[in-house]
A and B are shown apart, each in its own frame.
Chain A
Amino acid sequence: MSRLRLGITLVSLLAIVAIIAPLIAPYDPTVQLDLATLRNAAPSFAHPLGTDLYSRDLLSRLLYGARISLLIGLLAVAISVSVGTSVGLVAGFSGGVIDIVLMRIVDAGLAIPKIFILLVVLALWEDVTVAVLIGILGFTGWFGVSRIARAEVLSAREREYVAAARALGAGPIRLIARHILPNIAAPIIVAATLGVGQVILVEAGLSYLGVGVPPPQPSWGNIIRDGQDLIRTAPWISTTAGLAIVLTVVAFSILGDGVRELLDPRER
């Protein structure tokens, strides 16, 4: 099976699981079923992956966690790719002072390690909802994409088909939309696919630090955080969530590689 097919298959399976989570999850992921007898219960028929410290069903939390992780990954990347591509287009197309200023901002954004940027923003945010988290991840994640987009614009700008379109009287908007954007899309699509996995990793890290998805909502990072101190007595809690993250990020990495092979003939 080609990489692209494997990637598409894995990602589609994950997406289906995330979409139908409410139908297949045996319990409500936030309900504390029985604090007296069901805390940290080992896997059983009633609870295939066991329960956590608050007697919540882990399988249900894991399934709903897939929803939140994928939602955050996809939407945050949608934001960062739109912003990054626009900034890259503007910088590469206009050149001059605008280009210099924008690229210095990008340099600075890339110089601050991502988690530190996020901590700075989150330090002052009172109530972080999932929507706020998506916004923060999206609007701090576009620096790399804008560099890719700008580099592509710079090389596309010099091509004959752009000169031809310009000679035929195409304005800058038409030039960008009809001629440049379609020709620079390939590396951006690849970066976006790989980006989804990386955002999921970052979100898990933030949730692990206690500043990501607000509890009691299930997120894979939250589940690992909950299970951290129980790794001796109830190792299944953080193990299953960790494996879910690895599987998901691997799926997007394979898909990204597959898309790259498809779009860039040199990679074959």
Chain B
Amino acid sequence: MVRYVMGRLAQGVVVVFVVVTLTFILIHAAPGDPLTSLANEPNVRPEVVEQMRRNLGLDRPLHVQYVRYLGRMLRGDLGVSLTQHRSVAAAIRDAIPNTILLALAALLIDFGIGVSAGAFQGAHPRSRRDRTLTAVTITLYSIPVFWLGMVLLFLFGEQLYWFPVAGVTDPVTYPFRSGLGKVADRLHHLVLPALTLGLAGAGYTARQQRAAMIEAIGQDFVRTARAKGLRERLVVGRHALRNALLPTIALAGLAFPALLSGTVLVETVFSWPGLGRLAADAIGRRDYPIVTGAALVAAVLVVLGNLAADVATRIADPRTKPAS
């Protein structure tokens, strides 16, 4: 197992290295450089821009810039924000716990709803309830996540006042709350954004789970279980569902990129101070070091998420263990 994890980790390092290279290429493939918008300002002297270009090393040949860029990334130096007067790493450090919390809560809702709905559909394919749920899951799969967030925010935040509409904590009461009260306040703020992101993902998860369930029920061991007289509930719940969950666990790793893409939009809707909102705000201010830094960190999160899903699959499925 340790060797397997190390091997997958090494693959992950390769992926991150290529991601760094890819972002470097993307940055340099765009017309203009990070200082173009500054240079276009009427009250900025061209000499100043030239000096900044030299300071940032943008006047050097591309291969020199690339090696320097790699070196900085290796040291964890993501550069300095152009608008925040602090390092990109510091800005991301503040944002990342909020995004991880949101993403994990959303993943829980996504799989909780998606797996139950999909497993039920797969156990009763082509029934009326299966068709109804299919219509629901296709709709969820097709909803723009930011629009779903706006609608939920309007209904449950601004009309019913059930949940707060912005931020991670209550700016007024939070400092005065007890330990448990602080946790409750955070959870209260988490509900709507996590529900938005989770529901949007649940549509896809349910579709996958339904297919996996139908396939599992067609297998021989299900026939055996039925033949020996097990009650249908046990056949479906214990034998079929357990096997149908395996592809879904693997899917969790694949769901991670979409989940993080979603955080950019959901965090913007709910003013949630995470990685996605950091990137979305930065793009409005053309703060490119923040944007590329956030993209790199998001990619690292995806790689780690895939690794976790792979390890979980290996633990859950004895067939993937190497013969010894």
Contact = CB atoms under 8 A, between A and B. Distances in A.
A51 interface: no
Q: Residue among A111, A115, A201 with the most chain B CB within 10 A?
A: A111
Interface residues of A, number: 46
B179 interface: no
B283 A119 contact: yes
A114 B263 CA distance: 11
Interface string B146-183: 11001100100010000000000000000000000000
Nearest to B215: A266
Contacts of A210: 284
A110 B253 CA distance: 11
A119 B294 CA distance: 10
A36 to B, nearest CB: 28
Given A113-B258, A123-B287, A123-B292, 6 more contacts: A108-B15, A111-B19, A111-B299, A115-B264, A126-B31, A209-B265
B279 to A, nearest CB: 5
Nearest to A194: B141
16 contacts: A105-B22, A107-B18, A108-B15, A111-B19, A112-B19, A117-B26, A119-B280, A119-B295, A121-B29, A122-B283, A125-B31, A126-B31, A126-B36, A231-B154, A246-B143, A254-B138
A113 B280 CA distance: 13
A112 B144 contact: no
A91 B99 CA distance: 36
Interface string A231-259: 11001001100100110111001100100
Contacts of B261: 113-116, 205
Given A124-B34, A253-B142, A108 B299 contact: yes
B244 to A, nearest CB: 17
A119 B16 CA distance: 18
Contact of A119 (B15, B31, B145, B291): B291
Given A111-B257, A204-B144, A232 B158 contact: yes
A201 B144 contact: yes
A211 B265 contact: no
Contacts of B317: none
Nearest to A110: B257
B315 interface: no
A208 B294 contact: no
A224 interface: yes
Contacts of B50: none
Contacts of B259: 113
A89 B33 CA distance: 34
Nearest to A239: B151
Interface of B: 14-16, 18-19, 21-23, 26-27, 29-34, 36-37, 138-139, 141-147, 150-151, 154, 158, 256-261, 264-265, 268, 276, 279-280, 282-284, 286-288, 291-292, 294-295, 298-299, 302-303, 306
A249 to B, nearest CB: 3
Report the 4 A-B pairs with minimum CB-CB distance, sorted nearest first.
Answer: A249-B142, A108-B18, A124-B30, A116-B295
Contacts of A107: 15, 18
Contacts, number: 168
B27 A124 contact: yes
Question: Which applies to chain A's interface (DSSP): helix, strand, loop or mixed?
Answer: helix
B284 to A, nearest CB: 6
A100 to B, nearest CB: 10
A119 B146 contact: no
Interface centre among A113, A209, A210, A224 (most CB of B within 10 A): A113
Of the candidates B32, B144, B260, the one having the most CB atoms from chain A within 10 angstroms of its own CB is: B144
Contact of A116 (B16, B33, B298): B298
Contact of B283 (A111, A209, A228, A231): A209
A197 B142 contact: yes
Contact of B260 (A116, A209, A231): A116
Contacts of A120: 23, 26-27, 288, 291-292, 295
Given A120-B292, A228-B150, A231-B154, A109 B142 contact: no
Contacts of B29: 121
Contacts of A159: none
Contacts of A126: 31-32, 36-37
B22 A112 contact: yes
Interface string A187-210: 000000000010001001100111
Residue from B142, B154, B268, B284 with most neighbouring chain A CB atoms (10 Å): B142
B92 to A, nearest CB: 12
B157 to A, nearest CB: 11
Which residue, of B33, B258, B283, has the highest number of chain A Cβ atoms within 10 A? B283
A231 B283 CA distance: 25
Nearest to A204: B144
A123 B146 contact: no
